[in-house]
Amino acid sequence: HTEENVENLVIGSGYGGAVAALRLTQAGKKVVMLEMGLDWEKEGGKYKPFSNLITPKNNSTWLKKSTQAPMMNIAHFNKKFTGVLDRMDYENIKVYAGRGVGGGSLVNGGMAVQPKKSYFKEIFPNLNVDEFWDNYFPLAKKELQVNEIPEDYYAQTPYYKFARVGESEAHKAGFETVRVPNVYSFDYMKKEEADEVPKSALAKEVIYGNNHGKQSLEKTYIKKAIQTGLLHINDLHRVNYFQETENGYAVFVDVIDTEGLVVAKKTISCKNLFLNAGSIGTTKLLLTSRYKGKMNNFDASLGSDWGNNGNIMTGRNMVNTLFNRVENEATNTNHTTGTGSKQSTIPVSGIDNWEDKEHSFFAEISPLPMGVEVYTALYLVINKVPTPGTISYDPSVNDIQINWEKKNYKHTVENAKYFIKKMNKANGGTPAGLLWKGAYGPDICYHPLGGAVLGKTTDLYGRVKGYKNLYITDGALVPASIGVNPFLTITAIAEYCMKEIIKNDYSVSTK
């Protein structure tokens, strides 16, 4: 057991943690960051290369002996490993998260989507929306190196046939579509296709990590923070809980090895504590600390307003469209069938049905890169969460439970059914029952949000109510849904909070 003392401690290295680390170090502050997953860059990247979707190794999966993808898990491993993608299974909901320095940025699709202004306003009624549109979203986009797919490339590459087909089918069904910016470098992708560089997005790499091309956080925010010389990252450090001390907080940490076994215990004392373990991780730390660390001053809202961003995965089996189209082709209508045997893993288009008040949704046109034509269209549909769930702590198992029932996701299933029905009516096809029982996956959550919400559990700048020098700047701040893929919003909110925190809470101690 060792004891350490630091000034500024950041728990978690996803979007919230990365922004906190950069802005603190740029303000001249020393920062220690704790991350339960691996630093994938350390020792020359010895735990890489990351796995692709088709032949995953044990570095694909967080401490389980088989892959835990939303579908088609056939790979088994001899040994558990602190792999990059975690799935946390709760009753009625399976929550995915990235593990390692960079958090979700290591495993996500890179879609950098700005929410609808009106919905942002609805979700955050106390924030100055124009300030976000003028300052924080542009800043987040710049730092995250967001770029857009060039139209001429999109129009002709075989790797985006799935998206072009998805768009044209959506139009045929009367839906509007949008092109979506991304942090994956499209210059790099073009070079992949031209065989000038090693392939990544075009070689089925994404949810188990990208080896090239994606500007994940270790290449943007975290890299910049390291360059200040003031950031120290401890990987394989899993925080259990914390408690208040005279001068700040004592944080109780398990140091683990790559098989997940505890090899050391540490108590790290700090003055300023930044919780950025993601929606589930941060809420769990707070609830565990209330129980074990006797932190009884948290606001009563802690654990409420949790949601899955209205996530539901669904798909369409296009085999019967094949027969229709073969007929069409025979009559020379020049239709091509299916979504293509070559597919980029990086989504770039979406179906925007947000303005339809009865069925508001945003559907990401997702790839299903199996290397062969599978005649299947895949979508991640994002919805409002009118009835959020809650998270509570269960001392008997020392874990949280997510209280998430049919009432919380009923409307997402209804919206997805409406969407698929309309698509099939216009284009042919059947709900993709081969992917999931019943063809809909309302229990698959890629976008956990909330649990310690801005303006409720914290003040309007991420300061935890009831305590001093205790902050949250991650997805836990966003109540239940934001209507689009969330990391751009999480980054923008973290930037906004950190600006205020550094300006006001650090101004005295700098003197």
Closest to ligand FDA by CB, 226 or 318? 226
Residues 4-15 as b or e (16 or more Cβ within 10 Å = b): eebebbbbbbbb
The amino acid present at 71, given as its one-letter code, is M
Q: 469: exposed, middle or buried (C-beta count within 10 Å: 0-12, 13-18, 19+)?
A: middle
Both structure tokens of 76: 């088994």
Q: Is 1 a catalytic residue?
A: no
- Nearer to ligand FDA (CB atom), residue 283 or residue 339: 283
Tokens for 299, please give them.
């606001």
What's the distance, CA 60 to chain centroid?
Answer: 16
Question: Shortest approach of ligand FDA to residue 141 CB, angstroms?
Answer: 12
Q: 137-144 vs 487-505: helix axis angle to the nearest 10?
A: 110
Least separation in angstroms between CB 327 and ligand FDA: 37
Residue of 212, 237, 411, 447 marked catalytic? 447
Tokens of 174: 């009367």
Of these residues, 169, 364, 411, 495, which one is catalytic? 364
Q: Which is nearer to ligand FDA, 108 or 481 (CB)?
A: 108
Pick 183 or 377: Cβ nearer ligand FDA: 183
Q: Nearest to residue 366, comparing CAs of 448, 306, 444?
A: 444
In the complex with ligand FDA, the residue whose CB is nearer, 98 or 315, is 98
Binding site for ligand FDA (CB under 6 A): 11-16, 34-37, 96-99, 103-104, 107-111, 207, 238-239, 276-279, 281, 285, 446-447, 474-475, 485-488, 490
Q: Which of 413, 478 has the CB closer to ligand FDA?
A: 478
Q: How far is the CB of 334 from ligand FDA (least distance, A)?
A: 33
Q: Is residue 408 classed as helix, strand or coil in its secondary structure?
A: helix
How many CB atoms neighbour CB 93 within 10 A? Answer: 22
**Got the DSSP string for 188-218?**
HHHHHHTTSS--SGGGT-STT--SSSB--GG
Give least dist CB 254 to ligand FDA, A.
Answer: 9
CB closer to ligand FDA out of 201 and 285: 285
Q: Which two tokens stand for residue 502?
A: 């550094």
CA R_g for the chain: 22
Q: In what order do the strands lie in the sheet with 444-445?
A: 85-90, 93-98, 444-445
Nearest distance in Å: CB 335, ligand FDA: 30
Residue labelled with tokens 């790290």: 268
Q: Closest distance between ligand FDA and the C-beta of residue 357, in Å?
A: 24
Closest separation in Å from C-beta 429 to ligand FDA: 25
411: annotated active-site residue: no
Core vs surface per residue 201-221: b (16+ CB within 10 A) or e? bbbbbbbbbbbbbbbbbbbbb
* Residue (of 353, 349, 309) closest to 483 by Cα position: 309
Helices and strands (H and E) in the chain: how many: 13, 19
Q: How far is the CB of 154 from ligand FDA (least distance, A)?
A: 17
In the complex with ligand FDA, which residue's Cβ is closer, 340 or 350?
A: 350
Q: Can you read off the two tokens belonging to residue 476?
A: 């836990």
**Distance in angstroms (rounded) separating the CA atoms of residues 170 and 150:** 21
- Catalytic residue numbers read 364, 447
